[in-house]
Amino acid sequence: MPVRVLIVDDSGFFRHRISDLLSGDSRIEVVGTAQNGKEAVEQAKKLRPSLITMDVEMPQMNGIEAVGIIMRECPTNILMLSSLTSEGARVTLQALEAGALDYLPKDMRAWMAHSGSLEKQLRDKVVALGRSTHARLRGTFTDQSSLAQANKSRVFSAEALSTSKATSTASTPGRVSSTDPQRLPATGGLRKPSERSLSNIKIPDCKVVVIGASTGGPAALQQILTQIPANFPHPILLVQHMPKAFTTVFAARLNQQCNIEVKEAEDGDKLIPGRALLAPGGHQMIIDPRSTDKIRIMPGDERLTYKPSVDVTYASVAKSFGKKVLAVILTGMGADGCDGAGILRQQGATIWAQNQDSCTIYGMPKAIINAGLADAVLDLNELTSIFSGKRS
């Protein structure tokens, strides 16, 4: 079935432009439009679309208010369209916290230029998000404790997942399959997993923790980082696919919410326990090869799709710290991080991937899991519990 889309924008130009771009894709069906948030709520209830593209600033009811009402009354996957400004970033992050899944920059010049890359990006996001069950699952429950219970943490062996299509190997309540950290040198695979309690999954002895994410990442990172205690003993590097204006605002927002320090990374910043450095949009973040207690911020290479790129940062920490790395890959479209995870794996680093059920988009974790590179596959709630140091 095609993804059924409701387009919400007070601009007639953007309503028609988005409709034209989407209508040429057989995977998508535009089922309606709305000119403000009030109409959006009414149309969402009436049409029950798979996805809503939502403008931010509109008369009568803005996009953030509309997102909040829709997520309470008729949960629907929502893609925000917002300007590439600090204010646009701020309100978009509020919309993501209210329940929207992702966003696209609303740059008039790009939308008027008949850009093939923009068209592909829009269509691919609409299809991927429209087929996601994440928002609908959230809306099934009235409180976070119910959702946490429904998303009860699970861990699977990467080897079992790659051969049995993510079926659980748990045999008794409260016990799950994890992985023996010892690797097979000939194949790079994992030894047969042994049964052990979730309480035995711990952050390994490492020099740095590196977390990569894309679609759905802001909410996932917020959930994990806000639970990390101020005395966390490791430095953290964060690579979230975002433009520059957004990473600046996102880092500042997280810093207000977290016990640890969170800042947008700058060239020469030091790796300090209890500090998280967020790669700035449009740039790459690597370890300084001359002084491994510092990071370098490099210009984004036009040959690379992602700026920042998880692959680039993963490869850099692998070169600098070898096996003393914990790499975590969270929800996101595409396969960024998979090549870098392969380099980390060769060095003996520990790699964790978010599981399918708790991902907004099961792309980046899936690539690493299918390549047999993940030491453990964990639910977002379990990842949060591990990093918080509190186990239920």
The two three-digit tokens of residue 269, written as one number: 């910043």
Residues 230, 208 contacting (CB under 8 angstroms): no
Q: Which DSSP letter does residue 200 get?
A: G
Question: What per-residue string of b and e applies to 280-300 under the rule 16 or more CB within 10 Å gives b?
Answer: bbebbbbbbeeebeebbbeeb
pLDDT digits (tens, 9 = 90+) for 163-201: 333 333 332 222 233 333 333 232 334 433 333 355 678
- How many CB atoms are located within 10 Å of the residue 83 CB? 17
How many helices (H) does the chain have, and how many strands (E)?
15, 17
CA-based nearest residue to 360, from 125, 49, 144, 104: 125
Q: Using CA atoms, how far apart are residues 20 and 18, in angstroms rounded to an integer?
A: 5
| CA max distance for the chain | 64
Q: Which of 157, 214, 320, 385 is catalytic?
A: 214
Judge whether 311 counts as a catalytic residue. Answer: no
pLDDT digits (tens, 9 = 90+) for 29-79: 999 999 999 999 999 999 999 999 999 889 889 999 999 999 999 999 999
Q: Using CA atoms, how far apart are residues 10 and 31, in angstroms rounded to an integer?
A: 17
| pLDDT for residue 135 | 52
Q: Using CA atoms, how far apart are residues 351 and 376, in angstroms rounded to an integer?
A: 7
Strand partners, 325: 208
CA-based nearest residue to 63, from 86, 29, 34: 34
Residue 19 has pLDDT above 80, yes or no: yes
Mean pLDDT of 119-145: 70
Residue 377 has pLDDT above 60, yes or no: yes
- The percent of residues in the chain predicted with pLDDT above 70, rounded, is 81
| pLDDT for residue 305 | 84
* The two domains 3-140 and 153-388 share their CATH topology (first three levels equal): yes
- Kindly indicate whether the domain formed by 153-388 is annotated with CATH number 3.40.50.180: yes
| pLDDT for residue 281 | 95
Residue 300 has pLDDT above 60, yes or no: yes
| pLDDT for residue 117 | 77
Q: Which of 25, 336, 375, 379 is catalytic?
A: 336
Instruction: For the chain, give the mean pLDDT.
Output: 84
Q: Which of 134, 234, 241, 283 is catalytic?
A: 241
Q: Which CATH superfamily is domain 3-140 in?
A: Response regulator (3.40.50.2300)
Q: Which DSSP letter does residue 142 get?
A: S
| pLDDT for residue 221 | 97
Mean pLDDT of 122-127: 94
Judge whether 102 counts as a catalytic residue. Answer: no
pLDDT digits (tens, 9 = 90+) for 225-270: 999 999 999 999 999 999 888 999 999 999 999 999 999 999 999 9
Residue 338 has pLDDT above 80, yes or no: yes
Q: Is the pTM of this model over 0.85?
A: no
Top mean pLDDT of 179-193, 271-285, 302-316 is at 271-285
List, as one string, the DSSP characters of 26-89. Answer: TTEEEEEEESSHHHHHHHHHHH--SEEEEESS-SSS-HHHHHHHHHHHS--EEEEEE-SSHHHH
Backbone φ and ψ of 36, nearest 5°? -160, 175
Q: Is the peptide bond before 308 cis (omega within 30 degrees of 0)?
A: yes
Strand partners, 277: 237, 263
Q: Using CA atoms, how far apart are residues 213 and 247, in angstroms rounded to an integer?
A: 13
Residues 271, 291 contacting (CB under 8 angstroms): no
Pairing of the two strands 155-156 and 376-378: antiparallel
Residue 302 has pLDDT above 50, yes or no: yes
The structural domains of the chain, with segments of one domain joined by +, span: 3-140, 153-388
The two three-digit tokens of residue 67, written as one number: 């997102």
List, as one string, the DSSP characters of 99-119. Answer: T--EEEE--HHHHHTT-HHHH
Query: Which residue matches tokens 């659980």?
Result: 168
Q: Which DSSP letter does residue 204 get?
A: -
Residue 386 has pLDDT above 50, yes or no: yes
| pLDDT for residue 114 | 65
Residue 333 has pLDDT above 80, yes or no: yes
Judge whether 375 counts as a catalytic residue. Answer: no
With bands split at pLDDT 50, 70 and 90, how would you rate the model's confidence at 343?
very high
- How many CB atoms are located within 10 Å of the residue 205 CB? 11
Our CA angle for 137, 143, 148, nearest 5°, is 65
